[in-house]
Amino acid sequence: MKRSLVVVSNRLPFVISTNENGDPVRKNSAGGLVTALAPLVIKNDGYWVGWAGNDLTENMQIPESDDPTAIAHGIKSSQIIPIYLSKETFDLYYNGVCNGTLWPLMHSLPTLAVFRGDQWSAYVAVNELFSNSTFEAVKKFDNLDEKSNLVWIQDYQLMVMPMMLRNLLDEAHITCKLAFFLHIPFPSWDIFRLNPWANEILLGLLGCDLIAFHTNTYASNFIECCFYILGARVDRKEMIIEYGNKTSVVRALPIGIPYDWFEKNARIAPKPFNFKEKVIFGVDRLDYTKGIIQRVRGYERFLEKYPDCREKVVFFQVAVPSRTDVEDYRNLKDELEREIGRISGRFATAEWTPIKYICNNISQFDLAGYYRDARIGLITPVRDGMNLVAKEYVACQIDDPGVLIISPFTGAGETMNEALLVNPLEQDLIADAIKTAYDMKYYERKLRMNALQTRERLFNLDTWLESFFDAVDMIDNFKKMKSLN
């Protein structure tokens, strides 16, 4: 079925930069969100609302794609609704609230969160711009009474715009469902209430008909926040919230990966490592939630505690630079590089380097080869909404399967029970998990990996989209099922 659709996210499905003549050009952007949603916007002739970036100004034309291999190639410039922000506003909104306040708080790291009223005002103002532009896009729909009309808003950068948009649509008597997906964790109410603007965020989200999260834990945390902080009426069993005259359905819809794509490319991707040692592999955005410092220290403990394993393993860590304008991220890079240097200096020999470190982007295609050839996938965030790397690692174990070590503080860790689960905050536990993985015999690796692969193959990215649209189409039925208190 084709439906009128607007996708709204902070970033557009490609990056716009300028070439040597000063003309804007599109650059591909990889990542789960674009892979999932670009085909959807193309298929439905939909619209995509997002921040234009620093290079595109209002007097410039949005460029068409000249790369037929790009996932967003089929999205025409007329389908793109750019949001222009001054550098100053962007700084207050993105570096300030999104990544200085909400990111640490939502990841249950409240001591890192900074709360500033001027930044919050910018966040609200930017959300209003997104809401107004989305409203203009909806007005272009063919039929403004059609029940399947949908706006799908993504992630923590846009949590107050849903109610703004709901009000605009209601005033204009336009029929349109609003849905929201949070790609990061939703913390317990006792953490969330530290946010001075907790009420405004909850109220903003309750403008949606459907509010979806990766896990049941996040979904129930949200319901409890609405109950305790707002005093909303909730049905915990049916996962429905009523506040004033608005009813919202809450669902856990765990995202998956394009499994077949990774499996296929793992068969043809080039061989990345040319050393004889077993490879322990990690790849993350350079973010403090990913637990990279704790991971390298856990590896250090492994080398200390199991000296026989020295020179038989190499830890290969890829860190993709991220949010470099935020101080905590810059400090993290410095600290990580100091630690890697220290540990290398402590254990390296003339023939052997214990850690290889790349601080750069690696293409998804090449990554499939890194995953395939790594004996151990070491994925140990201190907190992570889902973690797609764990799933990608699993999809690429095509021949001699490796061992996945994962932190239970990730969405993925809640279901990937056949992996080795390790608390990343204790170095000895990481060290012991690496040793167990290192020693694990073929038949056990195969058994565990088969089970992990079966689940991820089944609950892949397409299944996620299907479950999302099933939920959207059932919203009116779900709303009737409430018995609220």
User: E strands, 311-402, where?
Assistant: 313-320, 355-359, 376-379
Site string for ligand G6P, 60-99 (x = CB under 6 A): ----------------------------------------
* Shortest distance in whole angstroms from residue 109 CB to ligand G6P: 15
Q: In a 3-state reduction of DSSP, which class is residue 347?
A: helix
CA distances from 404 to 15, 50, 380 (A): 33, 35, 10
Question: Whole-number minimum distance, CB 347 to ligand G6P, in Å?
Answer: 33
Toward ligand G6P, which CB reaches closer, 210 or 386? 386
Which pair of structure tokens corresponds to residue 129? 């711009």
Work out which of 323, 372, 375, 482 binds ligand G6P, going by CB under 6 A: 323
For the CB of residue 285, give the shortest distance to ligand G6P in the complex, in Å: 6
Task: Give, rounded to a whole angstrom, the gap between the first and last alpha carbons of the chain.
Answer: 37
The interface with ligand G6P within residues 139-158 (CB under 6 A) comprises 155
With contact defined as beta carbons under 8 Å apart, do 323 and 357 qualify?
A: no
Closest CA to 193 of 239, 241, 228: 228
Compute the distance between CA of residue 339 and CA of residue 443 in angstroms, rounded to an integer.
Answer: 36
The CB-of-330 to ligand G6P minimum distance in angstroms stands at 14
Residue from 322, 353, 415, 436 touching ligand G6P (CB under 6 A): that is 322
φ, ψ of residue 344 to 5 degrees: the values are: -60, -45
Count the residues in the chain.
Answer: 485
Element (H, E) at 283: strand 278-285
Q: Which is nearer to ligand G6P, 103 or 370 (CB)?
A: 103
Give the pairing type, strands 278-285 and 376-379.
parallel
Q: For ligand G6P, which is the closer residue by CB, 121 or 322?
A: 322
Sign, CA torsion 227/233/235/238:
negative
Instruction: Restricting to residues 155-194, name those near ligand G6P by CB under 6 A.
Output: 155, 183-184
Q: Which is nearer to ligand G6P, 99 or 460 (CB)?
A: 99
- Smallest gap, in angstroms, from Cβ of residue 282 to ligand G6P? 17
Residue indicated by tokens 């500033």: 116
Q: Residue 184 or residue 355: which is nearer to ligand G6P going by CB?
A: 184
Minimum separation from the CB atom of position 345 to ligand G6P (A):
32
User: How many C-alpha atoms does 238 have within 13 Å on its Cβ side?
Assistant: 20
**Looking at beta carbons only, is 284 or 300 nearer to ligand G6P?**
284
Q: Which amino acid is at 68?
A: P
Min dist CB 388 to ligand G6P, Å, is 9
Size of the residue set binding ligand G6P (CB under 6 A): 6
**CB of residue 338 to ligand G6P, shortest distance in Å:** 24
Of the candidates 14, 88, 22, 79, the residue with the CA atom closest to the CA atom of residue 52: 14
Question: Using an 8 Å Cβ cutoff, are 23 and 10 in contact?
Answer: no
Residue 182 class from Cβ within 10 Å (0-12 exposed, 13-18 middle, 19+ buried)? buried
CA distances from 448 to 64, 72, 419 (A): 46, 36, 7
Cβ proximity to ligand G6P: between 323 and 391 the closer is 323
Considering the rule CB under 6 A, would residue 12 count as an interface residue with ligand G6P? no
- The least CB distance from residue 98 to ligand G6P, in Å, is 7
User: Nearest to residue 35, comparing CAs of 392, 345, 482, 279?
Assistant: 392
* Closer residue to ligand G6P (CB): 320 or 474: 320
Residue nearest ligand G6P, Cβ-based: 183
For tokens 């008597």, the residue is 173
CB of 154 to ligand G6P, least distance (A): 7
Tell me which residues touch ligand G6P (CB under 6 A). Answer: 11, 155, 183-184, 322-323
